[in-house]
Structure 1
Amino acid sequence: MELLKDLYSPIFFERFIHFVKEKYPAFDGERFRSSIYDDNWDQEAFKQRMRHITRSLTETLPPSYPEALEVLAAVAPQCRGVEYLFFPDFIELNGLGSYELSMEFLQIFTPYSSSEFAVRPFLLQEPGRTLEHMKQWARHENEHIRRLASEGCRPRLPWASNLPALRKDPRPILPILETLKEDPSEYVRKSVANNLNDISKDHPELVLVLAKGWYGKTTATNWIVKHGCRSLLKKGDSRALSLFGYEENRSVSVHGLDVKIGSIAAGENLEFSFRLMNESEDIQALRIDYEIGYRKKNGTLAPKRFKLTEKPFGPGTHPLVKRHSFKLLTTRTYYAGEHEVRILVNGTPMAAVSFEFTG
């Protein structure tokens, strides 16, 4: 399996050096290449390699920060994708002392390789000024720049530096999200939803109030609210469930929960089935989740919740089957022993069964 860091291959660098030399013939490609392949390169992960490339560019582009930015801006349209995140990273590393120029070029680079990570040190250094800039970005004609306004200030953006002030009080973010909540671009709306979901993990009340105000306006806004409340829904928050029509269970039960094979090994699938019974005479909106109780090293179980389905269920019996993969992951360590699968309906635990994981 190719790792993300392997995008930085010798072929990649040859192509990049060619692009730069076309716009800046004085570029010392050999010096740049030698700086890349030092004693640390092989051990570095993706983000470490990205910063490594940024440092090498700093050594080989013009020493004048404005001139170096002009070279990168000339090359940027040929350099699109996650592997070119070192373009905005060049600003993060070198541009904190040149605020206006840096913000201008973060905007220039973001359509090619997102500036969502590089803008965060500016939010830490000058939060009020940078948020005002981002409010302007939220009204830009380019969807990539509008998305940067939302994505860059996410309180819990993965891979990114922390924003403790906005995690503590995310209200300064809300005007940006208000501007973008009916954005024509799905790409932007998804960022708004992810920002809301981040906020909900520390300030559920704030998101629930906002969600009630937004829900029911448009189809696009309804999707944002639903996706933005996904962590609250997964936790079984009764207020979030109620907002989307998932009320407390009325005459609903789960029967016959069973695993197809009582013992599975790493790389295999756990298959389980059960019957959901709606004993009322009404159609009911139900969200069905399941939890896998993973055995920890100390022998206790750590439940992780997953969505199975959500839809209206008519009166009567509804058979449901699910396969859950136990493929090996770098993000999870499996321990042999008894595990558990549990079924929840609208946030309420309804049934559980044990199974053995052999390792």
Structure 2
Amino acid sequence: MANETGAPALLKDILGPSALAVIAEAGAAASPRFDRAAFLDAASAGLGDLSIMQRVRHIADALVPALPEDYPSALEVILAMAPGLNHGFQAVAVTEFVARRGRDHFDLSMAALARLTRFGTAEFAIRPFLADDPARTLAVMLDWTGSPDEHVRRLASEGSRPRLPWAARVPAIKGEPTLAAPILDALRADGSVYVRKSVANHLNDIAKDRPEWVLDRLGTWPQGDAGTKWIVRHALRKLIKKGDPGALALIGVAHGAEVEVRLFAATPSNVALGGEITIGAQVVSTSAQAQKLVVDYRIHYARPGGKTAAKVFKLKTFELAAGETISLGIRQTIRDFSTRRHHPGIHALDLLVNGRTMARSEFLLLESPVPAQ
């Protein structure tokens, strides 16, 4: 998305002046007790210098002078406003009012978050309640796993993630990232992809600190359900890329394989920044039986001073018949990202089959970038 100048729009602009106008109109339509002018004055002041999550909190605070002074009455207006919002981040900002003003009204606020999360996730707003009283809040969230609303069930998992992006860490969960395990168990065969993805991401968070716990826990999950299998595979994606034997075993893959790699190369072997390479491989089975293979590739990015930084990419997961030969290929553009800057030099390239390095190649990143078209 671009703004009127043609430049890419900033994420924070989602909560710009037009969003404030929508929130103000929703408030005015919800109740005559909502002071539209007071909200716009408070919300507009200093908005331009704030990041997206700072704007969420700023807008939540700007709702205070626009709403009734007593929290229960103000919450009635908030709940009535939510259907009138037209973007999830607008609802996140309104939901943040509960986090900042409702912590002394636990039951009322929990019920409100369950209602509001369908309009814009309440995963950020629930974090202060988890920090205040993790046991009590997790008990409510466990009850939410039985909700008929997928948004509420997802909130149970997503809101309790140990490493939830953009959210404040919860001291108790940071210290013991497995506290929400009963929630994950309850949702392990959920019918909603939206919920299952959250459960998998939650487990992936835990795996960064407690990989053995995740492997042991998932090893107890019955995998007759297709949704559960999906969660297990997605939750273990980082461990699978690392070639962890336990993670590979849980998805039915042996550590290593009976194969021969007859071709593995990057074409062209010299590439400029902005150019494209094709990574090709020919894999031949040397087994008398069919094998399930997870094939990835790893690029060792050149860094200043002769150092390197490795990153694993997915290539293909498939079954290779006895004696079968398969040709694999993938294209990759070598370009800079905000999270990855490229440097000229030799880039080593590994082919990984079931967690083991089976072949190595390289390509040279040239000094000069590809000319702009």
Percent identical pairs in the alignment equals 38
Q: Which residue of 1 is the match for residue 160 of structure 2?
A: 153
Which amino acid in the other structure matches residue 336 of structure 2?
A: L
Give unpaired runs (5+ residues) of structure 1. none
Structure 1 residue 241 corresponds to structure 2 residue 248: yes
Tell me: CA distance 1:295–1:36, structure 2 relative to 1, closer, same or farther (3 Å).
farther
Q: Which residue of 2 is the match for residue 68 of structure 1?
A: 74
1:116-148, CA deviations, whole angstroms, 9 ceiling, x for partnerless residues?
A: 111111111101111111111111222111111
Please tell me the root mean square deviation across aligned C-alpha atoms, in Å.
Answer: 1.9
Give the TM-score normalised by structure 1: 0.93
1:189-208, CA deviations, whole angstroms, 9 ceiling, x for partnerless residues?
A: 22222212211221122211
Q: 2:123 aligns with which of 86, 95, 116?
A: 116
Structure 1 residue 166 corresponds to structure 2 residue 173: yes
Q: Which residue of 2 is the match for residue 46 of structure 1?
A: 52
Q: Which residue of 2 is the match for residue 355 of structure 1?
A: 363
Is the 2:232–2:251 contact (alpha carbons within 8 Å) kept by the matching residues of 1? Answer: no
Give unpaired runs (5+ residues) of structure 2. 1-7
1:183-241, CA deviations, whole angstroms, 9 ceiling, x for partnerless residues?
A: 22222222222212211221122211222221433112111112122121111101111
Tell me: CA distance 1:88–1:303, structure 2 relative to 1, closer, same or farther (3 Å).
same
- Structure 2 Cα separation of the partners of residues 331 and 94 of structure 1: 36
Alpha-carbon offset, residue 86 of structure 1: 0.8
- Structure 2 Cα separation of the partners of residues 13 and 24 of structure 1: 17
Which amino acid in the other structure matches residue 15 of structure 2?
A: Y
Alpha-carbon offset, residue 26 of structure 1: 4.3
Q: Which residue of 2 is the match for residue 6 of structure 1?
A: 13
- Structure 2 Cα separation of the partners of residues 82 and 327 of structure 1: 30
Which amino acid in the other structure matches residue 63 of structure 1?
A: E
- Structure 1 Cα separation of the partners of residues 115 and 341 of structure 2: 42
Which segments of structure 1 move beyond 3 Å, counting only runs of 4 or more?
none
SS of 1:249's partner is coil
Tell me: CA distance 1:17–1:219, structure 2 relative to 1, closer, same or farther (3 Å).
same
Structure 1 residue 217 corresponds to structure 2 residue 199: no
Q: Which residue of 2 is the match for residue 329 of structure 1?
A: 337
Tell me: CA distance 1:312–1:297, structure 2 relative to 1, closer, same or farther (3 Å).
same
Structure 1 residue 282 corresponds to structure 2 residue 285: no
- Structure 1 Cα separation of the partners of residues 258 and 37 of structure 2: 73
SS of 2:69's partner is coil
Q: Which residue of 2 is the match for residue 190 of structure 1?
A: 197
- Structure 1 Cα separation of the partners of residues 302 and 313 of structure 2: 17
Alpha-carbon offset, residue 298 of structure 1: 4.0
Is the 2:161–2:205 contact (alpha carbons within 8 Å) kept by the matching residues of 1? Answer: yes
Is the 1:167–1:199 contact (alpha carbons within 8 Å) kept by the matching residues of 2? Answer: no
- Structure 1 Cα separation of the partners of residues 340 and 49 of structure 2: 22
Tell me: CA distance 1:256–1:184, structure 2 relative to 1, closer, same or farther (3 Å).
closer
Structure 1 residue 92 corresponds to structure 2 residue 99: yes
SS of 2:209's partner is coil
Structure 1 residue 58 corresponds to structure 2 residue 54: no
- Structure 2 Cα separation of the partners of residues 60 and 328 of structure 1: 45
Which amino acid in the other structure matches residue 213 of structure 1?
A: T
- Give the paired residue count: 358
Structure 1 residue 343 corresponds to structure 2 residue 351: yes
Give the TM-score normalised by structure 2: 0.90
Alpha-carbon offset, residue 335 of structure 1: 2.3
1:145-166, CA deviations, whole angstroms, 9 ceiling, x for partnerless residues?
A: 1111111111111111113432
Which amino acid in the other structure matches residue 73 of structure 2?
A: E
Alpha-carbon offset, residue 276 of structure 1: 1.2
